[in-house]
Structure 1
């Protein structure tokens, strides 16, 4: 073991380790010794790489397909450039079983990494450092002491993407070490992808093993994972080959146990939905047993074929119309947070269109997290709902409406693309498009339109862990059915509950999302549409977590109200309704005689509603709400519902009329 210059201090550390049983207590501030110069570092070409006599050496464990390693690779290079003339050396180490030297070279070239890349083929370097994840960084001083271990900064975590880091752990550790100051946090929790150890492998086992990749695991992955985890899709690694899968074995089990994969957030005990992603306990336990047994490959004859997915349009024919977001691609940056992008396109339709199916195809699926296409009808047109046309979410298959069902798009309408991009560490371009399949009006038996439940009058206090906002919708058209629903909140969204209130006081839960995740905008399509004819109202409870315990929370000390930005909040639910074509879009309310007292109470509630609406929306306090005074989302999906005369202004009588429908 290399002892460095201070043999006495190292002897003291060894003595402590003898009695306490752990090296981590050695040195100050959690330092521990590491025989850096006794380790063998070899590049991807197999040639030795000299560690040198650097003042500090940053050993960075990286993987070619780990999403966080992709995001942080360029950032590590910037740090390497910044400190190169101050005696700080950076080394990249790849200990992944599944990454070949050629793949490591391609990764370094793609993300322009100029520091040496090491292939840790026998994982001896990972074992010496006790590295567990990529990216994880170890800062070693000239005496062979690890002075910092952990993350680079806190901007990215699995499922979390902050606009900027709030702590720069590696940079601060380098600065402190160079100036001789103590490191405030010498050890932080590494985040990223697990490094599966070679000791877990036993690929030679065949038919004698109880669970093998070919006979058991491949079929599970085909059913639950490969639709997204294959070349060309947004998922970061392909889980189609044994040699690739074994390198992710422990990581696969971790994301399953953490309920991060497969991505599905509905309570399994409430409702049944089309395309629901649920992995059974039996399947999970097979994966765990396979890993414990050494991940044997098994007999090749037992391997099921890969499913075949259409790579383009998923219906039997080409679309009748194909429309792109614009005439040139949108540039997605290498990193950071990209706010929702909205592209307005005029398809130049001079006649009404009935849409029986629509499919969104991303231009670059590796960065398109989701896309929604809305219809913006011309002013004064006969149009109902908010204009939802189609959506794309990774892994969801495009589904045509039931036979005889279609959406009406009035002549002169424009299409609005809402795009959510997630950078992947490499600047790229996207040109998403939507394909539309039409049907003749005479063949339409049911019109489908999207309604919205919304509350934009809430305020979430600072630090509150469970702030609940209630929403309700009633006045459904006769003979109508609800086909599906999408709840929408932002980073503080915690849970969602949908109840159907039926005559006689009966209440039926239809959907519960106990752990809402802003990263996944699920469309929950009911396996059996909900008959709304015997539903008095749909009641929704939306809860928010504005506490420090919410890792997504951008500002726990803020009061939070409605807003389009992700650091603000929304309480919205979109749901599809089908009605017989030509029928009324709202239930005709029976005439009810009210007592003078009941009439007075109703008028008071209406006046309170009007006052609250004006207080929030009427920015210049002139008693009239102009379109540009309202949030962008309300402009697109709520303004025209209240602006009955389509003059671009909402006045008191129009607010009162809208309130009368609700109250």
Structure 2
């Protein structure tokens, strides 16, 4: 009897597979602990199980407890269990409290915009989605199917000891490569309350009034003729053609680039960020065909063109760098080039901008200053020097806080470090830097300090290798900005201020570090650092084959200059706190 039952089940599963087949879109969210999760990054797993949850829904606790139990049972297996929370009334704290109450470390992904729940077509609390993350195939959608003495369930439980739910049976079967009964279990939870999503869709969205202003504010800086983006937002037709790609990059948080944890976004100026409301507006417009009113002018076409080849306007001083001939192949060492500035008096720098000629091969530029004393010291590899600033992709210009400045003394010269990588053809780079000066001395002269660790050794194949570093602030100071730097294996990094009294403040978190976007993050309100404070950097590297940027997952990796080596370094700008902070 049982053998016949399982034979029928096996045959039925095969016939049902095509009916079940569909694809899930890629998406990314942050969990209750500030960790980044993207469906497409789970290619090291055979399955990703996602359950929809909202507080107050019927039977949600029983679903969560079963999910937590299965996570423990399959902890060492190639499956990830996650909980999607499409609820703007929830917070990281409330979800942490929920996880603590359940005694689980399940990731609870906060979907405050409700856009991900909609993209995944979730409709009810307790709804389960089982996805193959390599192909995005949906293997199962339905209820969790807690066992309740149903004859078929009893029969299955007799062959698989400890079976507790239909989801358990599916995961067990998939991981063993066995066919399974794809009978869809009923979803016993209440309908999801998606008021935020309904409100966004109910709004009348105009390209001219609603969409174009977001694109101009959030996107046009890079998607312009001289910008870093691969295509130009020259007008509506171009945006409409790229609209599905825009949707995908928003859902996966690939764009805007270099995003910090959105809970910290209001703490920083000039960050690449997009709000839930702006995302809802753009996606609603795209869903409706990404149309415009042909009788109205196109705001993207009318957007002010660049009046100068410099994004910040004409500099007060332009420093030309010598031309460098880049060969087609080979490994290039760092180059150090001294450049005399010829200043007749001391100057305070308010901003600087790099005009990079060849962004394809130029990995970075670091500008150092050398006064007369430093020029006489340690002449090898550039001599004694002080870090002034630098260029990396995404860091073309830096504007300092209005009350601050960097001192350039009249006896100083620049010592420029250039790092190029070969790209298969010969190139010539003629880059330069523009300097913008203050009219008077600032209230807060900036100096640079760093937090770094150069002692790590990342083993081959490791998916998450943690690294930590810290620096002690020896005198009362103000902290103004961060500039983190890792290479291709950099995965995430966060910074915590630990005060002398033992209290803490999480200053910045970058849950999804991207080597191609090396940003400067400038605090809107500088942070006071009492003497004895410690700034702790905690991050991780991905040296596995599942990191698409990894040059070679078979190598042990340590600190090194080249991009196939690694660095764990963050420059910070601080100023002595010898007077109260004055805000403009």
For Structure 1 versus Structure 2, the TM-score category normalised by the shorter chain is 0.5 to 0.7
1:575 is aligned to 2:577: no
Q: Which runs of 5+ in 1 are unaligned?
A: 1-18, 23-207, 583-663
Offset from partner CA, 1:204-241 (integer Å, 9 cap, x none): xxxx9943433332222111111111223232211131
Q: Distance in 2 between matches of 1:262 and 1:298?
A: 26
1:345 is aligned to 2:333: no
Q: Distance in 2 between matches of 1:311 and 1:553?
A: 38
Structure 1 or 2, whichever has the larger Rg, is 1
Offset from partner CA, 1:264-291 (integer Å, 9 cap, x none): 3211113611111211222223322223
Offset from partner CA, 1:93-118 (integer Å, 9 cap, x none): xxxxxxxxxxxxxxxxxxxxxxxxxx
1:275 is aligned to 2:274: no
Shift of the 555–373 alpha-carbon distance from structure 1 to 2, 3 Å rule, reads closer
Q: TM-score, normalised by structure 2?
A: 0.56
The 3-state SS of whatever aligns with 2:269 is coil
Offset from partner CA, 1:510-550 (integer Å, 9 cap, x none): 01111111111011111111111266211111211112222
1:312 is aligned to 2:309: yes
Q: Which of 474, 477, 480 is residue 476 of structure 1 equivalent to?
A: 474
Offset from partner CA, 1:594-619 (integer Å, 9 cap, x none): xxxxxxxxxxxxxxxxxxxxxxxxxx
Name the residue aligned to 2:444: 446
Q: Which runs of 5+ in 2 are unaligned?
A: 1-15, 20-201, 378-383, 580-584
1:552 is aligned to 2:556: no
Q: Which of 318, 325, 329 is residue 322 of structure 1 equivalent to?
A: 318
Offset from partner CA, 1:551-573 (integer Å, 9 cap, x none): 22222222111111111111111
1:263 is aligned to 2:257: yes
Q: Distance in 1 between matches of 2:341 and 2:389?
A: 16
Q: Distance in 2 between matches of 1:527 and 1:283?
A: 22
Q: How does 1:67-216 map to 2 (within 5 A)?
A: 210-216=204-210
The 3-state SS of whatever aligns with 1:301 is coil
Name the residue aligned to 2:32: none
How many residue pairs were aligned?
Answer: 374
CA drift at 1:504:
2.2
Q: How does 1:430-441 map to 2 (within 5 A)?
A: 430-438=429-437
Offset from partner CA, 1:392-418 (integer Å, 9 cap, x none): 654865424423633344724333144
1:218 is aligned to 2:212: yes
Higher relative contact order (CA 8 A, sep 6+): 2
Residues 235 and 366 of structure 1 are in contact (CA less than 8 Å); yes or no, is this contact kept in structure 2? Answer: no
Name the residue aligned to 1:594: none
Q: How does 1:261-660 map to 2 (within 5 A)?
A: 261-270=255-264, 272-301=267-296, 303-304=298-299, 305-313=302-310, 318-319=315-316, 321-326=317-322, 328=323, 330=325, 342=335, 344-349=337-342, 353-364=346-357, 367=360, 371-378=364-371, 380-381=373-374, 386-391=386-391, 393-394=393-394, 398-403=398-403, 405-409=405-409, 411-418=411-418, 429-438=428-437, 443-478=441-476, 480-533=477-530, 536-579=533-576
Residues 445 and 575 of structure 2 are in contact (CA less than 8 Å); yes or no, is this contact kept in structure 1? Answer: yes
Residues 325 and 345 of structure 1 are in contact (CA less than 8 Å); yes or no, is this contact kept in structure 2? Answer: no
The 3-state SS of whatever aligns with 1:499 is strand
Shift of the 505–21 alpha-carbon distance from structure 1 to 2, 3 Å rule, reads closer
Residues 381 and 410 of structure 1 are in contact (CA less than 8 Å); yes or no, is this contact kept in structure 2? Answer: no
Offset from partner CA, 1:565-584 (integer Å, 9 cap, x none): 111111111101112699xx
Q: Distance in 1 between matches of 2:392 and 2:458?
A: 30
Q: Distance in 1 between matches of 2:318 and 2:457?
A: 42
Shift of the 250–422 alpha-carbon distance from structure 1 to 2, 3 Å rule, reads farther
The 3-state SS of whatever aligns with 2:462 is coil
Residues 406 and 445 of structure 2 are in contact (CA less than 8 Å); yes or no, is this contact kept in structure 1? Answer: yes
Shift of the 303–365 alpha-carbon distance from structure 1 to 2, 3 Å rule, reads farther
Shift of the 433–350 alpha-carbon distance from structure 1 to 2, 3 Å rule, reads closer
Residues 492 and 539 of structure 2 are in contact (CA less than 8 Å); yes or no, is this contact kept in structure 1? Answer: yes
Q: TM-score, normalised by structure 1?
A: 0.50
The range that moved more, 235-244 or 399-408, is 399-408
Residues 360 and 390 of structure 1 are in contact (CA less than 8 Å); yes or no, is this contact kept in structure 2? Answer: no
Shift of the 296–435 alpha-carbon distance from structure 1 to 2, 3 Å rule, reads closer
Q: Distance in 1 between matches of 2:393 and 2:558?
A: 27
Q: Distance in 2 between matches of 1:482 and 1:344?
A: 30
The 3-state SS of whatever aligns with 1:355 is strand
Q: Distance in 2 between matches of 1:256 and 1:549?
A: 22
Q: Distance in 2 between matches of 1:231 and 1:499?
A: 38
Shift of the 470–464 alpha-carbon distance from structure 1 to 2, 3 Å rule, reads same
Shift of the 530–421 alpha-carbon distance from structure 1 to 2, 3 Å rule, reads farther
The 3-state SS of whatever aligns with 1:565 is coil
Shift of the 419–561 alpha-carbon distance from structure 1 to 2, 3 Å rule, reads closer
The 3-state SS of whatever aligns with 1:505 is coil
The root-mean-square deviation of aligned C-alpha atoms, in Å, is 3.8
Name the residue aligned to 2:89: none
Q: Distance in 1 between matches of 2:337 and 2:208?
A: 48
